[in-house]
Homo-oligomer: A and B are copies of this chain.
Amino acid sequence: MENKLEICQPTCSVDYAFRRIGGKYKGRILWYLQEHKTLRYGALKRILSDVTTKMLTQTLRELETDNLINRKVYHEVPPKVEYSLTETGEELIPFIDYLRQWGDRQIEKANRQPQ
C-alpha cells in the first residue's frame, strides 16, 4: 500500500532497487513489456497466466507509481488500456536480461546434475 521510497536511506540503493522491482511479477512484466513494446491489460493477464486481476492491477499500479511503466487509457467502448516501459523502466532491461541469462544457466546446471 505505502512502502515507498521515502523510507530508504541513501546508503542502501541496493535495497532501494530490490524493493522497486521485487514482488512476484514485476520482473516478468517489465521483461514482457520490452519484448512487446506495448501490451494491453488483458494480454498481460494471459501471458502471466497464473495472475489474478487483483495482483495484476496492484502490481501495475506500483510500477506506474514508481515511474517504471506508462499507462495509456483510450476512452472508448469497450475500454482499452495500454502499458509500456518508461525510460527509467527501460534502464532496467539490461539487468533483467543479465539475470534471465544467469537463471538459464542455473536451471541448466541443476538439470545436468540432479542430486
Contacts and interface: CB of A to CB of B under 8 A. Distances in A.
A100 B16 CA distance: 8
Nearest to A109: B88
Interface in A15-30: 15-18, 20-22, 26-28
Nearest to A31: B14
Interface string A81-99: 0000000100110111011
What are the 8 closest A-B residue pairs judged by CB atoms, nearest first? A13-B103, A17-B103, A16-B103, A17-B99, A95-B98, A18-B27, A13-B104, A14-B100
Contacts of A22: 18, 22
Given A22-B18, A32-B11, A49-B7, A92 B102 contact: yes
